[in-house]
Amino acid sequence: MGIIYIMWLRQLKRYWRSKSRMMGALGMPILFLIALGFGFGAIYQKAGGGNYLEFLAPGIIAMSILFTSMLNGTEVIWDRQFGFLKETLVAPVSRIKIMIGRTLGGATVAFLQGILIFLISIILGFRVTNFSCIPLTLLFMFLIAVLFTALGTAIASKMEDMHAFPLIMNFLIMPLFFLSGALFPLDNLPKFMEVIVKINPLSYGVDGIRGALTNASHLGLFFDFIVLFVLTLIVSLIGSYLFSKIEV
């Protein structure tokens, strides 16, 4: 059994054992799907946009992955507070491996959460038009999961306690979600909005999932993939560096 595997396994066990957390993380995405999906559905249809739920579901899948993975990344702070971080940092293993195991574990959990939302959106009426693109969808989902788990870990490595968490929630996670095109189409946006959306990494994840599932990519699937892949590499490297510098 390797270090990476045992770190990964630990994240999964923790996820599996706290059912309340699993359920809690489903609440908001389901609420969004129902309230927005059905609430705006009629207007959207009238405006000529087609089926809103069809448009919205990929965005909400990306959202659930974003939330869960950022939360998993910041679990480093809990480990610091409950002391377990010391146990891993004092062991004769490279911190890079610990970081990789952690990130993959957190990302797997977020990925599973995304699949749950995917299934729930199908129950609510989302129709997959292109089944052959499911693997591509999963690839995009996993990339977002790794990217934001690594980002969460990087941020958490510089944080001493949970007090700054609302700050991250309101000034990072929420803007990332709302300004990503998860809720609205990217056509004919005001110029400043378009710029913001294009800076936001989640936009490429949302667009990728949407493109794969419903053939409605705005930015181009290949471009989405390249942007996400490169960003994931960069953020993981920064995260590994910051994590390796933690002192407890």
Helices vs strands, H then E, count in the chain: 13, 0
Among 19, 23, 27, 83, binds other proteins (CB under 8 A): 83
Among 1, 23, 123, 199, binds other proteins (CB under 8 A): 1
Residue ranges of alpha helices (H) inside 49-190 are: 52-73, 75-82, 84-89, 95-123, 134-157, 165-168, 174-178
Nearest approach in angstroms of CB 101 to other proteins is: 10
User: Could you tell me if 63 and 177 are in contact, meaning their C-beta atoms sit under 8 angstroms apart?
Assistant: yes
Q: Which stretch binds other proteins (CB under 8 A): 11-19, 65-73, 147-155, 215-223?
A: 11-19
Per-residue mark of binding to other proteins, 58-77 (x: CB under 8 A): --------------------
Q: Which stretch binds other proteins (CB under 8 A): 27-35, 56-64, 89-97, 222-230?
A: 89-97
| Whole-Å CA distances, 222 to 55, 62, 205 | 20, 18, 11
| DSSP 8-class letter at 189 | -
Q: Which is nearer to other proteins, 93 or 159 (CB)?
A: 93
Per-residue mark of binding to other proteins, 14-53 (x: CB under 8 A): x--xx-----------------------------------
Rounded to 5 degrees, φ, ψ at 82 are -90, 0
Hey, what are 97's tokens? 């491996």
Residue 124 makes contact with other proteins by CB under 8 A: no
Hey, what are 99's tokens? 């970081």
| Distance, CA of 99 to CA of 143 (rounded, Å) | 16
Per-residue mark of binding to other proteins, 148-187 (x: CB under 8 A): ------------x---------------------------
| Distance, CA of 121 to CA of 125 (rounded, Å) | 6
| Cβ partners under 8 Å of residue 237, min gap 6 | none
Residue 87 makes contact with other proteins by CB under 8 A: yes
Q: Which is nearer to other proteins, 4 or 197 (CB)?
A: 4
Residue 91 makes contact with other proteins by CB under 8 A: yes
* Residues in touch with other proteins (CB under 8 A): 1-3, 6, 10, 13-14, 17-18, 82-94, 160, 247-248
